[in-house]
Amino acid sequence: MAEGKYHLLPVYALLTTSDLAREGIRNSGSFRFADHIYRNEPSGRYGVGRLLDRVLLKLRGARSMRSRFFHSRREILRVVREMAGVTTGQLTVLSVPCGIARDLYEVAETLHTTEPALYEHVRFIGIDLDGEALDLSRELTQDHPTFDFQCADALAAGSLPGRLDAIVSLGFGEFLSDGMLYDFYRRCHSSLNPSGRFITSAMSRDRISDYLARELAELYTHYRSADQLVELLKSAGFAKVQTTHDEVGLQTLAVAEKVP
């Protein structure tokens, strides 16, 4: 109303019946919003809210965000399986910021069922600033003694543990300037073992999703192309960066290695 955009009021009222849109509007960029997209289970108020939620979950922006979750699951599994072939020691995987650590949880579930010997060798750590995200992550992973969650500022010096085999970071760079992201990548780089891998993603702009995010959720995203992401990771010290695009074409999915 302050901006005189009265035409958005009915859209706003309708959107708040959808659980996804309501979360996006009230808590821009929240871990619940991301997790709702990853779970892909429509919910909302009255029949219309659920229907609208289903439509929103099918938007290009939402499908593309979901693909980074699949990327994380796939690449964490790949890295622990490959490293298990060259070391008999413990492997440590960090998610930062972890939000609701569903990707780590699903990897642990898969390993527990299909490769119990490897499961015993993998330790998972989740770091987030928000105690609620950590509590929900602890609840989700309560059957797995291999998890450890820590409340810390990912941007503060010394907040990341060392000697890590893999770090995954999703839904963070989109909120940081290039300078802040560079510093964060530098610290991730120095926390990894020489053979460690960094798993991340960047998003390109989708007109409709960006319009909804800006006008209704006041969420201003830092979009980056594959080239921009590779340049940042390389300048932070990663020797090899592999990228692919998700099937929607909005998400760059990256895996960076310290040594070529």
Ligand X SMILES: C[S@@+](CC[C@H](N)C(=O)[O-])C[C@H]1O[C@@H](n2cnc3c(N)ncnc32)[C@H](O)[C@@H]1O
Told to check if 19 binds ligand X by CB under 6 A, we report: no
CA 8 to chain centre: 30
Among 172, 185, 198, 238, binds ligand X (CB under 6 A): 172
Which listed residue (19, 31, 147, 250) binds ligand X by CB under 6 A?
Answer: 31
Q: Is 148 in the site for ligand X (CB under 6 A)?
A: no
DSSP class of residue 164? E
User: Could you tell me which residues come within 8 angstroms of residue 89 by beta carbon, excluding any fewer than 6 positions away?
Assistant: 121
Q: Binding ligand X by CB under 6 A: which of 42, 44, 171, 196?
A: 171
Query: Residue 32 contacts by C-beta under 8 Å, 6 or more apart in sequence?
Result: 23, 100
Closest CA to 163 of 92, 95, 243: 92
68/121 with CB nearer ligand X: 68
Nearest 10 degrees: CA dihedral of 203, 96, 129, 23? 40
Pick one of 25, 34, 93, 107: the residue that binds ligand X (CB under 6 A): 34
The reply on whether position 24 binds ligand X by CB under 6 A is no
Interface mask (CB under 6 A) for ligand X, residues 88-127, using x and -?
---------xxx----------------------------
Question: Is residue 153 within the footprint of ligand X (CB under 6 A)?
Answer: yes
First CA to last CA distance, the chain? 54
Residues 191-230 that bind ligand X (CB under 6 A): none
Candidates 125, 170, 229, 256; binder of ligand X (CB under 6 A) is: 170
Give the interface size with ligand X as a residue count (CB under 6 A). 17
- Measured CA to CA, the distance from residue 35 to residue 18 in angstroms comes to 15
Q: Contacting ligand X (CB under 6 A), which of 53, 106, 128, 246?
A: 128
Contact present, 201 and 150 (Cβ < 8 Å)? no
Determine the residue type at 196: G
Residues lying near ligand X in the complex (CB under 6 A) are found at: 29, 31, 34-35, 97-99, 128-130, 133, 153-155, 170-172
